[in-house]
Amino acid sequence: MRHSRSEFGVGRDRDSDALAAHAPYAAAWEDLRRRHWVMWGVYLAFFPGKWLIAAVYAKLPNYHSPQIFVIAGSAWIVAFVVSSYWAADWRCPRCHEVFIKGTWYRNPCARYCLSCGLRRGAPNGTEPGISG
Ligand SMILES: [Zn+2]
């Protein structure tokens, strides 16, 4: 039996409601993944960006100033610092503290919240923390 579009829409809403009830942190983890993709995208854009600017520079016959590299390099550094800070400032969905910040240190590769111990990717907050 075929379902109409509206039936699929309703079913999808029910599924997403059920998913949200079972995994209320799913959207938060997706936000963390997006931040990391943006940060790594900015970082890796350096290499093709460098080659692209060098190619454009080579095509400009009467332009011999290296300022284009200074400007582009500065813009890349600013973009990388901002995206890195944005990724590092992500807050734990359970305790709302900065995920990678412990009492005395930061660990950008932390697999669990350094404040409450929530495992990265945990579907909800029912898992025990560092102290539990
Ligand atoms: Zn936490």
Q: What is the pTM of this model?
A: 0.72
Cα(116) to ligand 1 centroid in Å equals 4
Token digits of residue 21: 């009830």
> Which pLDDT value is given to residue 2?
46
CA of 109 from ligand 1 middle (Å) equals 15
Give 61 Cα–ligand 1 centroid separation in angstroms: 56
Per the model's pLDDT, the better-predicted residue between 78 and 130 turns out to be: 78
pLDDT tens-digit series, residues 69-98: 888 899 999 999 999 999 999 999 999 999
CA distance 83 to 93: 20
Can you list the alpha helix ranges (DSSP code H) found in the chain?
5-22, 26-44, 46-59, 67-88
Asked whether the beta carbons of 75 and 83 are under 8 A apart, the reply is no
Q: Is the pLDDT of residue 7 over 60?
A: no
Domain boundaries, the chain: 5-88
Which tens digit of pLDDT belongs to each residue from 114-124? 999 999 999 88
Q: If pLDDT is split at 50, 70 and 90, which confidence band does 58 have?
A: confident
